[in-house]
Structure 1
């Protein structure tokens, strides 16, 4: 790897050459960086594998842990993905449709922002509060209107 002084010297020399040559030199330097990084990554992976084998963690499937998320995160994520089956499943299992994130956004807010009409209907049919307010006191109606989703505005007003 080139040290700092070598790079400064190279930079001064590159100031005197045409742009195309500077570009080629930069590409060459970047290629060298990527090669060094690939070698480093491979070494680190090999070290980790060896360490895992020494500790008896050769089979990763046996040592996998399940990751679980808070119910509000699961509902918000499923509604943001516009996954009606998962949202129905979560709501059917007594999950409140009014769960919110740290900003106070509910799944209904997010669905109104993303213009997911079917998701809005599902959430409202499962008792989502149409006038739920986020931390800035915005309701799903504010979100739908600001984003110009007139179909959702009508649905929300009817509710």
Structure 2
């Protein structure tokens, strides 16, 4: 396991192409999902300098704050509430160009202006969501969605290989 990452320069695509294999190497064979989530957040935050990067973990009927990088965040989110709860309920990636226009948006911070949320699966069910916020409007695009969905698949594959979620 590597204990550091190389911060890449260049286009957004080039940054992802450099970072994703590094993250895969960091989490490979590590069975602890929380440890892997924490390292993923740190790597993404270091590479992209987003406002907030973190996971919310499904606990019964709500999402509970998990590992993250950034300012203090909302601790619990109900299913179908806000962008995270919507991603969980709909089991799909949600990209929001302007969170202030999203019905039912939960404003954990007024600095957050755009957001992308991706579901994480284990045994066919959503067990967590990866939530990323930016201080810029319309910050996330198809490149982010495609590359972050690849990252989620790497994390899911590692959970299957280690047999733990």
TM-score (norm 2): 0.25
Q: Give the number of the structure whose alpha-carbon radius of gyration is greater.
A: 1
The structure showing larger relative contact order (alpha-carbon pairs under 8 Å, at least 6 residues apart) is 2
TM-score (norm 1): 0.26
